[in-house]
Amino acid sequence: MFRLETAENPQTLRRIAIEPLTRVEGHGKVTLLLDDADHVHQVRLHIVEFRGFEIFIEGRPFWEVPISVQRLCGICPVSHLLAATKAMDLIAGYDRLTPTAEKIRRLMHYGQMMQSHALHFFHLSSPDLLLGFDSEPTRRNIVGVAREFPEIAKQGVFLRKYGQEVIRHTAGKRIHGTGAVPGGVNKGISRAERDEMRRDIDRMIEWALSAVHLVAELHRAKPEFYDHFGEFSSAMMSLVDADGAMDFYHGGLRALDADGGTIFDGVDYSGYQQVLEEEVKPWSYMKFPHIRSLGPENGWYKVGPLARVQTCDRIPTPLAEMERRKLVARGEGKPVMGTLYYHWARLIELLHATEVIRDLLDDPDLLGSDLMADKGERRSEAVGVIEAPRGTLFHHYRVDENDQVTFCNLIVSTTNNNQAMNEAIRSVALSHLDGKTITEGLLNHIEVAIRAYDPCLSCATHALGKMPLEVDLIDAEGTLVQRARRNMGPER
Amino acid sequence: MSDDATFMLDGRPIRFEAGQSILQAALAAGAFIPNLCHHPEFKPHGSCKLCTVKVNGRASSACTTRARAGQEVASDTPELNRHRRTLLQMLFVEGNHFCPGCEKSGQCRLQALAYDLEMLNPHYEHFYPPRPIDASHPDVLIDFNRCILCALCVRASRDVDGKTVFALAGRGTAQHLVVDCPSGKLGDTDFAATDKAAEVCPVGAILPKRVGFAVPIGERPFDIEPISVQAAHAAHAEPRG
């Protein structure tokens, strides 16, 4: 049983619900159970919606699937497009892409990483970090940041825009384009498009480096808070390339324990079910994946930027690697575990993405015209895995002899982080809410911890300070004592 | 103003040849009248009603009404376009049309007309009918979710291919496309990917297998210019002979 997951006598406790939260697919809530002295006994992040893509993709023709499943998300559709297409490459019989096709896909993916990370840091999280967790809520948003720190806000907007333009050049549209198709890509890059992207990339690298320094400075100035907020020990997992270096597009699975020791390494992701298992809990629609050999109690892990910068041996671009070493050094030989390190790691990845984009734009293969690979033997089952902005993303399909999908299993990045997010808010609840009268600012501490994981649709309600919240204070007899509502619309 | 071989369409004189319908003459002159079940190679069907115009004040299908000298034809009017949008909305809610994941997007006449006639929402409650996919044929897929019952495949299979693979069965809202063989599966017929019936579907109901998004979204015919503009360009590219 996990700390603070289930209280012994819940009927005697007050229940406070933060509902809905914003998350990957939109709807989540946090419940807290407190005693009469305001001590916290139970904290849960519930995922209350059911998405259903795995079911309604059944029966569809396989070539349609990458385009359909990217609609899972409006923030990182490229990740779903590429993970599904990697699986469908194999289903359709394409083993190895042409150099041009793989580099165009990589360019698309690193553009996606750049825009998503910029969106998350500047638009969603910088209001908390730059203006204060409990600053005036009506100003705690990107407009408030633009007022107080106009140059930072401008750089954030343009970094994201640049990533979106890379996606447009490679996928045809900024959101929900096509680009990747089983066997390669449907669109080449012209010299004019390449030159247009090349023109501004050096400035993007410079701005990304400034952003890394901005967050690093927060940790240096107030380490007792920034290093330890929402801190807990956990394993970590990501893809790394054959040499152990960071690679967002392809590689083998590597998992490290909380001390940095290897749990598994170089695992072919097509056999992910041999190393990972998914558990279901009755109070959430989101599954709880864990490392099979360690079991559900000890095998949970985290994914995403903070995992990736620590599971890899190195980042294969110089500026990002230099910054990664500074972050890793703060652990003094052990992995760092504070939740707010996610932002620092995310910006190092943003910097890495800009460096990779520059290198790809300078690669003559990018302008090639050989976009489709030679077709080999058709398969009936395949797995596609990619490092999405929020972490490792699994797409697993089976297709029958008529070309129709018969099975689909998706483990989206946020699902991998399910237990980790629960641990993060439990840590925050104990250190910041326990024994205190609840205020909006304290509630925002819970949201800050969830937000650090960059759950997908958080932008939908949070970006402009419109994240809806409802908190009910219910006494031991179940009577509603007080209800606080924010951005919930008229009460029904 | 008019002579022996001219009628007026929305105030514009349209010349016609003997035997032409109003729709044929208008399209040949580069004047677009919205249409779905019409195909220049087949006899008119008159079922979609999108080409309904007012001929001397009376509503008629432009595809089944013969052009005559001196007719006053109204087509591009707020009233008729409102009715056309309603017809399109009913077609959208009667089937399961999910353009974002459809290979035909950007090449689909139903989608193109909805854009051209500025259909902004489905208005009616969706039926969400449970319709199957027939993937039994090795080269061609039928997605019944997208069928709009235009009967072009029925006509092409019967009149050009000489196979009568398809038919419309049932009546009213129960009407549906059927495959003419005991199992009802396309794979059990003599249908071939080279048949005329495999290429006439105006929507994404009959599609070649394993061809998905080879042409990027944004570079497809109706992405580049609206269906009404394309019709005008096509007429100018092919002078009446």
Domain segments of chain A as ranges: 10-49+419-486, 98-231+338-369
Q: Is A172's CB within 8 Å of B219's CB?
A: yes
Residues across chain B: 241
- Cα separation, A86 vs A184, in Å, equals 9
Q: For residue B139, give the chain A residue with the closest CA.
A: A402
**β-pairing, A301-302 with A235-240?**
parallel
Segment B153-157 shows an average pLDDT of: 97
Which residue matches tokens 């797409």? Answer: A395
List chain A residues with CB under 8 Å of B223. none
All domains of chain B in start order, with CATH = 6-76 (3.10.20.740), 84-215 (3.30.70.20)
Which residue matches tokens 């077609």? Answer: B91
Tell me, what's the pLDDT at B238?
Answer: 53
Whether the CB of B214 is below 8 Å from some CB of chain A: the reply is yes
Q: Is A63's CB within 8 Å of B219's CB?
A: no
Higher pLDDT, A461 or A189: A189
CA distances from A419 to A106, A234, A246, A249, B74 (A): 30, 10, 24, 25, 66
Tell me, what's the pLDDT at A72?
Answer: 80
Centre a 10 Å sphere on the Cβ of residue B101 and count the other Cβ atoms it contains: 20
- Cα separation, A429 vs A3, in Å, equals 12
Centre a 10 Å sphere on the Cβ of residue A189 and count the other Cβ atoms it contains: 20
Percent of chain B at pLDDT exceeding 90: 89
Residue B60's pLDDT band (boundaries 50, 70, 90)? very high
3-state secondary structure of A301: strand
Tell me, what's the pLDDT at A491?
Answer: 46
Q: Is B212's CB within 8 Å of A172's CB?
A: no
The answer, yes or no, to whether residue A48 has pLDDT greater than 70, is no
- Cα separation, A169 vs A167, in Å, equals 6
**Identity of the residue numbered B200:** V
Please state, rounded to an integer, the average pLDDT across all residues of chain B.
Answer: 94
The answer, yes or no, to whether residue A466 has pLDDT greater than 50, is no
- Cα separation, A211 vs A215, in Å, equals 7
Segment A335-354 shows an average pLDDT of: 97
Q: Is A61's CB within 8 Å of B211's CB?
A: no
Residue A294's pLDDT band (boundaries 50, 70, 90)? very high
pLDDT in tens, A121-157: 998 888 888 988 888 877 888 888 899 999 999 999 9
- Cα separation, A130 vs B87, in Å, equals 54
Segment B3-23 shows an average pLDDT of: 94
Tell me, what's the pLDDT at A105?
Answer: 98
- In eight-state DSSP terms, residue A9 is -
Which of A20-34, A237-251, A294-308, B115-129 is least confident?
A20-34
Tell me, what's the pLDDT at A49?
Answer: 56
ipTM for the predicted complex comes to 0.90
pLDDT in tens, A375-386: 999 999 999 999
**β-pairing, A14-21 with B12-15?**
unpaired
Q: What is the rounded end-to-end Cα distance, in angstroms, of chain B?
A: 23
Tell me, what's the pLDDT at A11?
Answer: 80
Residue A28: left (phi > 0), alpha (psi -120 to 50), or beta? beta
Single out the residue of A188, A163, A200 nearest to residue A79, CA to CA.
A163
Residue pair A68/A97 in contact by the 8 Å Cβ criterion: no
- Cα separation, B14 vs B9, in Å, equals 7
Tell me, what's the pLDDT at A478?
Answer: 67
Residue B140's pLDDT band (boundaries 50, 70, 90)? very high
The answer, yes or no, to whether residue B11 has pLDDT greater than 90, is yes
pLDDT in tens, B74-116: 999 999 999 999 999 999 999 999 998 899 999 999 999 999 9
Tell me, what's the pLDDT at A138?
Answer: 79
Which of A198-202, A228-232, A294-298, A453-457 is least confident?
A453-457
Residues across chain A: 492
The answer, yes or no, to whether residue A470 has pLDDT greater than 60, is no
Q: For residue B136, give the chain A residue with the closest CA.
A: A402
Phi first, then psi: give them for residue B124, nearest 5 degrees: -90, 160
Tell me, what's the pLDDT at B155?
Answer: 96
Single out the residue of A379, A270, A58, B140 nearest to residue A68, CA to CA.
A58
**Identity of the residue numbered B58:** R
pLDDT in tens, B122-131: 999 999 999 9
Instruction: Identify the sign of the CA torsion A81, A85, A87, A88.
Output: positive
Q: Which CATH class is domain A98-231+338-369?
A: mainly alpha
Centre a 10 Å sphere on the Cβ of residue B48 and count the other Cβ atoms it contains: 26
Percent of chain A at pLDDT exceeding 90: 61
Single out the residue of A26, A53, A41, A171 nearest to residue A112, CA to CA.
A171
Test the B interface: residue of A71, A82, A181, A399 with most B CBs within 10 Å = A181
DSSP string, A402-442: TSBEEEEEEE-HHHHTHHHHHHHHHHHIIIIITTS---HHH
Residue A6's pLDDT band (boundaries 50, 70, 90)? confident
Residue A118's pLDDT band (boundaries 50, 70, 90)? very high
Dmax over Cα atoms in chain A, in whole Å?
Answer: 71
Tell me, what's the pLDDT at A458?
Answer: 31
3-state secondary structure of A442: helix
Q: Is A67's CB within 8 Å of B209's CB?
A: no
Residue pair B60/B76 in contact by the 8 Å Cβ criterion: no
Element (H, E) at B140: strand B140-143
Instruction: List the structure tokens of B37.
Output: 């079940």
Segment B150-157 shows an average pLDDT of: 96
Tell me, what's the pLDDT at A285?
Answer: 64
In angstroms, what separates the C-alpha of A193 from chain B's closest C-alpha? 16
The answer, yes or no, to whether residue A336 has pLDDT greater than 50, is yes
List chain B residues with CB under 8 Å of A176. 100
Residue A15: left (phi > 0), alpha (psi -120 to 50), or beta? beta
- Cα separation, A391 vs A23, in Å, equals 14
Residue pair A160/A385 in contact by the 8 Å Cβ criterion: no
Most confident option among A12-26, A401-415, A451-465: A401-415
Residue pair A361/A239 in contact by the 8 Å Cβ criterion: no
DSSP string, A456-486: TTHHHHHTTT---EEEEEE-TTS-EEEEEEE
